[in-house]
Structure 1
Amino acid sequence: SQRHRTTGDWDERKLIEGIIGEKSIYKYRADVPPEPGSPQTKAKRLRLVVDLSASMYRFNGVDNRLERQCECVLMFLESLAGFEHKFTYDIVGHSGDEHSIELVRKNQPPKNNKERLKLLKLMYTHTMFCNSGDNTFAALKSAIDALQAEPDDTVDERFVIVISDANFDRYGLSPQVFGKMLQSNENVQCFAMFIGSLGQQATHLQQNLPSGKGFVCLETTQIPKVLKTIFTSDVLH
């Protein structure tokens, strides 16, 4: 049905299939599917780290970065609804005030549209009232450490996706250091999504990161494709 189409070239259910490892994705990748009767027993573990910095609100009028991030979070929640046994996730935020603002607790996803709307309002409000500053690096390190600390017998694979508005140069943050951090723990796969850009900020950042670790999403329609790329390239290997 058209309800499940995004931009016409793939179905959002395919994102779910990519995440949980359905056979059609294995066929697509020409990989061997798991033997029948050998289900995934441990959940894949994901932390989504969203950008709640003051610049998200300040420059939303320029490129809709805050709205795009809210849409990204909503896509995330809706894609994973009903698959919590396959995929355990939490969502935290970072801003000039803090590096790990709890938004969605592990195993406690929003249950309905009312709770989802409450979450989006919380994100929006924080960007309006927080101090300027950038804690992207601290947020990434905190996420890696938190996921690494979870016992292996409960987790299949670990993933961190950091959303940022690419405002690194204002605070003297090094893309090279960030790139090394993304690859700092072999047990935790890390990716960055840049959803805002003044001029060529985001593209410049992406070019300075290790290949396949940074994605520029300046249009909402790009978000599902990027999520699909992340999950099909690294979840299923």
Structure 2
Amino acid sequence: MQTKDNERQWQKYQSHGDVDDTRLIEGIAGEKNIYRRRIDADPWSNNIHEKPNRLKLVVDVSGSMYRFNGYDGRLDRQLEAVVMVMEAFEGYEKKIVFDIVGHSGEGWEIPFVNVGNCPKNEKERFEIIRMMHAHSQFCWAGDSTVKAAREACSTLGAEVDYDNGIVVLLSDANLARYAISSKDLAEALSGSQPKVKGYVIFIGSFAEEAKKIRNEMPVGQSYVCLDLTKLPQILQQIFASSIL
């Protein structure tokens, strides 16, 4: 006898119904067809259990973020972006499992939000961004961008409980000072893990440095976001190209 799960299935891209958990980013970006409805399933189809998708957000908490925040608001922009991500995925941990780590001159995997311990209210989210701000203000000089990218991709590649692994690295593009090339960063984000895709979003820049790095990296691997209103569209592109 077939179970009810086998008798009915979800139809996506609907204009009404239940919110489709896998299209949260599209909803943030303003898309309307982000709902799904139950329909009669093909009796010959298999009931396949989908694993959650895995996101690791790697934020830039280096000293330059705090030092040059007055120049272009890069640290403020990043903190707002982090809050946006935490709010967007709240309550959807079974569909999108994420954690947040930081990179600076003092380390490449500084923990801020652990898997399974996502902030549940404004007070907890404020505490997360307060810690990020404080670290950037008082940390030692230095850069571990490439190390952070490589380790994040490697860590996700070793996990087995997820269908897709996505690494999103935030950076202020202050790479030339530490003799880091765009090739170094691209290779670190590419890694050797087939189920993991890595991306970088530059949220700060001196002159055209961020755009120069982006143009030297593979198409679709890097983005420049100096206007926070464009972040949902960028995340939408990243998820669309990562989750098949």
TM-score category, normalised to shorter length: 0.7 to 0.9
Q: 1:118 to 1:39 in 2, by over 3 A?
A: farther
The match for 2:112 is 103
- Report the secondary structure of 1:131's partner residue: coil
Q: Give distance in 2, aligned partners of 1:79 and 1:85.
A: 14
Q: Give distance in 2, aligned partners of 1:148 and 1:183.
A: 11
Q: Give distance in 2, aligned partners of 1:50 and 1:177.
A: 18
**Which of the numbers 186, 190, 214 marks the counterpart of 2:198?**
190
Q: CA offsets per residue over residues 25-71 of structure 1, 9 Å max, x none? A: 699xxxxxx97995752110110000000000011001000010001
Structure 1, unaligned stretches of length 5 or more?
1-12, 28-33
Q: CA offsets per residue over residues 158-177 of structure 1, 9 Å max, x none? A: 11000000000000001112
The match for 2:213 is 205
**Which of the numbers 206, 219, 224 marks the counterpart of 1:216?**
224
Post-superposition shift, 1:24? 3.7
Q: Give distance in 2, aligned partners of 1:160 and 1:54.
A: 22
Displaced runs of 4 or more, over 3 A: 23-27, 34-40
Q: 1:17 to 1:197 in 2, by over 3 A?
A: closer
Q: 1:17 to 1:135 in 2, by over 3 A?
A: closer
* Letter of the structure 1 residue corresponding to residue 123 of structure 2: K
- Report the secondary structure of 1:99's partner residue: strand
Contact 2:58 2:170 survives alignment (8 Å): yes
Using the size of structure 2 for normalisation, the TM-score is: 0.81
Structure 2, unaligned stretches of length 5 or more?
1-20
* Letter of the structure 1 residue corresponding to residue 220 of structure 2: G
| Greater share of strand | 2
Q: Give distance in 2, aligned partners of 1:86 and 1:125.
A: 31
Q: Give distance in 2, aligned partners of 1:75 and 1:37.
A: 37
Indicate the RMSD between aligned Cα atoms, in angstroms: 2.5
Contact 1:206 1:216 survives alignment (8 Å): yes
Any residues of structure 2 matched to 1:69-108 within 5 Å, and which? 69-108=78-117
* Letter of the structure 1 residue corresponding to residue 229 of structure 2: T
Q: Give distance in 2, aligned partners of 1:135 and 1:173.
A: 10
Structure whose alpha-carbon radius of gyration is higher: 2
Contact 2:25 2:236 survives alignment (8 Å): no
Q: Give distance in 2, aligned partners of 1:40 and 1:86.
A: 12
Q: CA offsets per residue over residues 111-145 of structure 1, 9 Å max, x none? A: 10000000010000000000111000111111111
Post-superposition shift, 1:234? 2.2
Any residues of structure 2 matched to 1:144-155 within 5 Å, and which? 144-151=153-160, 154-155=161-162
Q: Give distance in 1, aligned partners of 2:46 and 2:84.
A: 31
**Which of the numbers 178, 182, 194 marks the counterpart of 2:185?**
178
2:151 is equivalent to residue 125 of structure 1:
no
Kindly, what percent of the aligned residue pairs are identical?
Answer: 39
Q: Give distance in 1, aligned partners of 2:108 and 2:128.
A: 18
The match for 1:227 is 235
**Which of the numbers 146, 149, 173 marks the counterpart of 1:140?**
149
Q: Which structure ranks higher in relative contact order (CA pairs < 8 Å, sequence separation ≥ 6)? A: 1
Contact 2:105 2:141 survives alignment (8 Å): yes
- Report the secondary structure of 1:72's partner residue: helix
2:58 is equivalent to residue 49 of structure 1:
yes
